[in-house]
Amino acid sequence: MISDASAIILLRSDTDPNSPEVFLVKRSDTLAFLAGIHAFPGGQIDESDRDVEVRNCDDRQLATMISGAARELFEELGVLLVHGGELLTKGQRASLLDDLEAGRMSWPTLLQHYELHLDANDFTFVGRWVTPPFSLRRFDTWFFLATCPPRQEPKVIPGELASGEWIEASEAYNRWLRSEITAVPPTLHGLKTLSAGMTSDLVERFLSTPIAQGEPVRRIEFRPNYICFPVRTPTRPPATHTNCYIVYSSTEMLIFDPGSPYEDEQLALASTIDELRLEGRSVREIVLTHLHPDHVGGVNTLRKHLGDNVGVAAHKATAEALSEIEADHLIEDDEFLTLHGEPTINLRALHTPGHARGHLCFHDAKRGILLTGDNVLGLGSVLIDPPEGNMIDYMKTLERLRSIPDVTILFGGHGPAIATPYRKLDEYINHRLEREQNILAAVESGITEPAEIVRAVYTDVSPKAYAMAERAVVAHLEKLSAEGKIEPLK
């Protein structure tokens, strides 16, 4: 499902048009969607947004979007971008906000009651972006450029946001280039566009790309030089796509997990790779994180497209299990894959079994980036299906990933990037340990059949997930038995 949303690129009043300052916020670490990521304030449209009248606007939908943007700006930062409210004191605005938050007054009632009104001329439409289909929560977000009213100072109201600051767009963009912040495509596009100054063609530059006009984003660069390119695959629900990653320098690139068996998706990926080749790069290798079909389904087609000199690299256990794909390079634990050019990128391979025997993760220590494959996901839960899956190995893998210092982002095989790596890894480890305790307790109470254990322990999952849960139970039982905590399995 795609929900309507709007967001505001808030400019500081009297900002220098050559180097405008914007209000950039950081999303809270505890959010389910895009936690810890830098963005512009905004959020989902509320039913009540439709009941607000906006002056100088005869388009109903546009009015609703403006109303939503203004409400979110007020709720998240306390900034009231209205006419008629110029005489309101800071204290009065705070009490209005309190009325709205506490539900004593709806947004339309509040505006009406205090004789405030929104004016479309205060909100410049600068794009419409649709969340890629790698996420369950998807938004069709309208972006507006607006200037912060003088004498109002945005202040992050604790909740969805962790912090916020005025920053020159060019400085924020440079922070992204230095891998210091994580941003989604519309944020990045906004910062980059404003970096060139508030020229007369500003709006035109904002709208110059089809992805700023509702066309789905394919190429997502949460961090520079790492393109996440979700491709549609026959994968496990709730995921519908597998993330292919293209890591590039000025002269070379590596392609991780071109997983789609579908021709249209293979073509889309090939054309993005071709664009990067036309800029003077060559494909070094196709690299596989592990053997599952949704990660390798497009390898042979891509290889044919790229020509014979492009090889496939994988762990030995992966290479041996794949009869249809020939691996030219066996990657061992601790081996470095180096991309030459600008910048030089060193990726250390980590053999991380658990989800699959030959699973590899890749760590870029300089940028704090960890490619986690299917060991850690931005969407859905990780399947541990013996004998390919192994819970003892998996727990060791999670601990190993957890022990790597200074990681700032996880790029998983499915779903959005994870900008809260240690929180996520702790959550994964604690979740498995808790399951294990409950499974042990079930066994001690006399339940022995995995299917019965699932019904006793997995009370929080839908029966649709029982088959997968049963495999996990078998994996936990193997681990408990190997550790001598339960009788050896028959």
Would you tell me which residues interact with Zn ion (CB under 5 A)?
292, 374
Check if the beta carbon of residue 383 is closer than 8 Å to that of residue 236: yes
Name the minimum Å distance from CB 414 to Zn ion.
9
Least gap, CB of 402 to Zn ion (angstroms): 20
Cβ(373)–Cβ(412) below 8 Å: yes
Q: Which amino acid is at 42?
A: G
Residue 432 beta carbon to Zn ion: minimum distance, rounded to whole angstroms? 17
Shorter beta-carbon distance to Zn ion: residue 185 or 389: 389
Compare residues 111 and 296 and give the one whose CB is closer to Zn ion.
296
Which CB sits closer to Zn ion, 232 or 292? 292
Rounded to a whole number of angstroms, the minimum distance from the CB of residue 377 to Zn ion is: 9
Q: Which residues of 12-38 are buried (b: 16+ CB within 10 A; e: fewer)?
A: beebeeeebbbbbbbbbeeeeebbbbb
- Amino acid (1-letter code) at residue 398: L
Task: Select from 143, 108, 119, 150 the least CA-distant residue to 129.
Answer: 143
Strands (E), 260-408: 282-287, 311-314, 329-330, 336-339, 345-351, 360-364, 369-373
Cβ closer to Zn ion: 179 or 397?
397
Rounded to whole angstroms, how far apart are CA atoms 114 and 74?
A: 15
Query: Closer to Zn ion at the Cβ: 41 or 413?
Result: 413
> Per residue, what are the HEC states of 142-179?
EEEEEECCCCCCCCCCECCEEEEEEEEHHHHHHHHHCC
CB of 389 to Zn ion, least distance (A): 9
CB of 306 closer than 8 Å to CB of 269 = no
- Name the residue nearer to Zn ion (CB basis): 41 or 412: 412
Cα 186 to Cα 206: distance, rounded to the nearest angstrom: 10
Closest separation between CB of residue 156 and Zn ion, Å? 38
Q: How far is the CB of 239 from Zn ion (least distance, A)?
A: 10
Tell me how far, at minimum, the Cβ of 295 lies from Zn ion, in Å. 6
Question: CB–CB of 403/437 below 8 Å?
Answer: no
Least Cβ distance, residue 391 to Zn ion (angstroms): 15
Residue owning tokens 């020509």 = 307
CA distance 76 to 31: 15
What residues are paired with 282 via a beta bridge?
252
Shorter beta-carbon distance to Zn ion: residue 12 or 351: 351
Chain residue at closest Cβ approach to Zn ion: 292
Exposed/middle/buried for 221, CB within 10 Å: 0-12, 13-18, 19+? middle
| Of residues 217 and 317, the one with the C-beta less far from Zn ion | 317
Q: Is 192 in contact with 173 (CB distance < 8 Å)?
A: yes
- 252 vs 374 by CB, closer to Zn ion: 374
Write down the least CB distance from residue 291 to Zn ion, Å.
8
Q: Which amino acid is at 490?
A: K
Smaller CB distance to Zn ion: residue 385 or 452? Answer: 385
Cβ–Cβ < 8 Å for 39, 76: no
Q: Min. distance of Cβ 290 from Zn ion in angstroms? A: 6
Q: Of 33, 31, 6, give the one whose Cα is nearest residue 416.
A: 33
